[in-house]
Chains A and B, each alone.
Chain A
Amino acid sequence: MSTTDTTPRARTTSAFDEELIPRYTMVERVNHWFGAITYTYCLITGLAFWTPYLYWMAAIVGGGPTARFWHPWFGIFFTVSQFLMFLHWSGDMEVDNDDRVWADNIQAYIENEDDKLPPVGRFNWGQKLYFWGMVGSTILLLLSGFMLWYVEAVPWSIHILRYVAILVHASVALITIGLFLIHVYMSTILEEGSFGSMIHGSVTRAWAWTFHRKWYYKVTGRARPTE
């Protein structure tokens, strides 16, 4: 197969293609959904505090004071999930040369011309970007969040930190919202099979071959065709 081959392949799958290979362990999946729920909570409450037009969202989760009470705690829970994800996946999140070529040609990915892209491992460059983006954001959110949570613990002599914190927290939250939207979109409706993988923990061989070919070779033990 060549990257210049533009002819759409017949979408017939065989039993071989439909055979399942494990992609996420139980622990990884539980942790992912733990992270997803805690993030969503923070998102809803955070948006409520963000603008009066969304203040109604606080009502969904029990009203303003309750929302305010749990938001930082859920932020901490989310951080815990992020830390576990880091333990689980950071090894697979290293960006290699293929990723860089992939990134240079991301337009093709957006336009569903994946064939024009170099094969990717367990995670593609976009996922890695998302992963590292979330890890970095979590650290920043945590630090700035503490300063918002315990604002009086920041001595008045360095109260400029309070000002920095409030900007950082909002800006970084916005970045994560962007990443989060793309992540949800892609993993639910854009890339068929992704959502299931986070539920059942497994993907078909075809899915793995289509979207994460290097990983497919690695986990199935099949050799990459020699050039």
Chain B
Amino acid sequence: MSQASTEIVRISGHAGTVPGAGLNREYQVCKLVDTTTCIGCKACEVACLEWNGYTFSETKFDNSYQTMPETAWNYWNLIKFNEHERDDGTMMLLMRKDQCMHCEDPGCLAACPADAAIVQYANGIVDFQEAHCIGCGYCITGCPFNIPKFSPTARKVFKCTLCNDRVSVGLEPACIKACPTGCLHFGTKSEMKELAETRADQLRSQSGFPDAGVYDPVGVSGTHVIYVLHDAKNPELYGGLPRDPHIPLSVRLWKGPLKWLGNLAMLGGLVGLALHYMRIGPKKEEPIPPEDRKPS
């Protein structure tokens, strides 16, 4: 990550090209989840809990292997299970590790009103800074993936950090470390993208999944968690992965035109009232004419 700051762009008093310019070292990280080799063992769930210091949550059997219906403020990593029957009658048990997608264009960050409560690092990690979080929950609305969750005890919102603490010292995220089948990979975005595309190619050509593909949605300018799906045309099958996620239009309106219109209107209103007072002045009461003083 630190190379980012030492990449030379311009050099004073230097004739000719800048050595290394345009080298463009990549430091954007990415987690690849290959759902086609996930076995739903939940090792990532436990690793996530243990690394982040969360303990037991009470859960309930809900006619599924899934630990709970959706991620929780203290349960950032959840495998979503879906029994799916293909058109030819063959059964599939789709298992997708759900967690923060670390969008390039993060809806949570766009929606957040609190100074520095959400930061996006140059490596692509979108991280919540709980010290600055005011717990408004706008990020929950802003997220197209239903990831940030509010803690009623802490009154703050929490989500997967992509193990920023581990990544920043050169380790892989805890979930990656725990994955037994190698369905989880971690590396630079371009490496992971390439690996994912290779696997998707293989699924298309060798495994009879003509619609296999990589999920790296453009609606949020790509994500730093990408999926290989057997059926990229129907991401909803994978525990409701949105087909075309983007920052909600209402959030964009609210944080864009509405904000500027509103600010303008408020400022205009104040100015208008001041001008009115200066130009027209106050309304004063008037003496009552005698005819109206008479009792009826």
Taking beta carbons and an 8 Å cutoff, which residues of A are in contact with B?
A: 1, 9-14, 16-17, 48-52, 55, 58, 64-65, 67-69, 110-112, 114, 148-149, 151-152, 156, 159, 162-167, 170-171, 174, 177-178, 181-182, 185, 189-193, 204-207, 209-211, 216-217, 220-223, 225
Partner of A192, one of B146, B285, B287: B285
In angstroms, Cα B253 to Cα A160, docked, is 14
Q: Which residues of A contact B248 (CB under 8 A)?
A: 162-163
User: In this assembly, does B249 line the interface, its C-beta being within 8 Å of a C-beta of chain A?
Assistant: yes
CB distance from B224 to the nearest CB of A (A): 22
Query: By the criterion CB–CB under 8 Å, are A162 and B263 in contact?
Result: no
Cβ-based interface call for B170 (8 A): no
Give the residue of A65, A181, A192 whose beta carbon is less than 8 angstroms from that of B283: A192
Tell yes or no: B259 within 8 A of A by CB.
yes
B113 touches A185 (CB 8 A): no
A50 touches B113 (CB 8 A): yes
- B-side interface size class: 35 or more
The closest CB in chain B to the CB of A66 belongs to B134
Return the contact of B269 from the options A164, A178, A189 (Cβ within 8 A): A178
27 A-B residue pairs with CB within 8 Å: A9-B286, A11-B284, A17-B288, A48-B113, A49-B136, A58-B134, A65-B134, A65-B135, A68-B135, A68-B155, A110-B276, A112-B280, A112-B281, A148-B137, A151-B140, A151-B141, A151-B150, A163-B141, A163-B248, A164-B250, A165-B141, A166-B141, A166-B251, A167-B258, A170-B258, A174-B258, A177-B266
CB distance from B13 to the nearest CB of A (A): 39
Given A17-B288, A50-B259, A223-B296 in contact, is the A68-B136 Cβ separation under 8 Å? yes
Contacting A190 at CB < 8 Å: which of B150, B282, B295? B282
Query: Inside 8 A of A223's CB, which chain B residues have their CB?
Result: 294-296
Tell me the complex Cα distance, A206–B290, Å.
12
The residue that B287 contacts in the complex, of A9, A170, A221, with Cβ under 8 A, is A9
A12 touches B269 (CB 8 A): no
Among B240, B250, B265, B283, contact of A163 (Cβ-Cβ < 8 Å): B250
Residue B138 at the A interface, CB < 8 A? yes
Q: Is the CB of B283 within 8 A of A114?
A: yes
